[in-house]
């Protein structure tokens, strides 16, 4: 009787160890579930894997939720810019845009990223007609 209880307890313990090992080696937390330091390192590493023409959906799957988002309709299409934290500047507990790398999408396709990207976004001419029409309603 004591021997069978020992085997049962040993079996449960081994099963528990296997479960923990599987979780540790297979489970990958979502980028937004990581601590800021880990997410920043993850984002910096993943920036090397992106390329022109990737869809907005693909980038969101790779990076998770953006730290900041802006969007507008311009004369030549719809623009969306996502900011992902990639570098630390100041230990104030707040993520700011200057600690992020911007990724610019035109019609949901990645067209630019990096330092000058936000200025490209700002320089795209807003479609005034649709803005005025929206305000009229």
Q: Does residue 111 contact residue 105 with C-beta atoms inside 8 Å? A: yes
Q: Please work out, in degrees rounded to the nearest 5, the angle formed at the alpha carbon of residue 72 by the alpha carbons of 70 and 76.
A: 135
Within its chain, how far is the Cα of 21 from the centroid? 27
CA 66 – CA 47 distance, rounded (Å): 13
Q: What is the pLDDT of residue 2?
A: 65
C-alpha to C-alpha distance for 79 and 127, rounded to whole angstroms: 11
Closest alpha carbon to 86 in 130, 124, 31: 31
The 10s digit of each residue's pLDDT in 20-39 is 777 677 766 666 667 778 88
- pLDDT for the residue numbered 98: 85
pLDDT of residue 30: 67
What domains lie within the chain, and their CATH numbers?
Answer: 31-136 (3.30.1450.10)
Give me the pLDDT at residue 132, please: 46
The whole-number pLDDT of residue 38 equals 85
pTM score, two decimals? 0.68
What pLDDT shows up at residue 130?
A: 46
The pLDDT of residue 137 is 47
> Listing from the earlier edge strand, what are the strands of the sheet with 109-113?
68-74, 77-85, 100-106, 109-113
Positions in the chain whose pLDDT score sits under 70: 1-3, 23, 27-33, 126-137
């Amino acid at each position: 009787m004591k021997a069978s209880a020992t085997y049962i307890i040993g079996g449960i313990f081994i099963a528990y160890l296997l479960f923990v090992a599987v979780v540790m080696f297979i489970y990958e937390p979502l980028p937004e579930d990581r601590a800021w330091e880990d997410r920043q390192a993850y984002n910096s590493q993943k920036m090397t894997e992106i390329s022109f023409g990737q869809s907005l959906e693909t980038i969101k799957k790779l990076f998770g939720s953006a730290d900041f988002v802006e969007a507008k309709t311009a004369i030549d299409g719809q623009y969306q810019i996502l900011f992902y934290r990639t570098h630390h500047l100041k230990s104030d507990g707040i993520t700011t845009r200057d600690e992020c790398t911007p990724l610019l999408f035109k019609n949901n396709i990645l067209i630019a990223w990096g330092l000058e990207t936000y200025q490209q976004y700002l320089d795209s001419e807003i479609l005034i007609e649709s803005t005025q029409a929206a305000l009229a309603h």
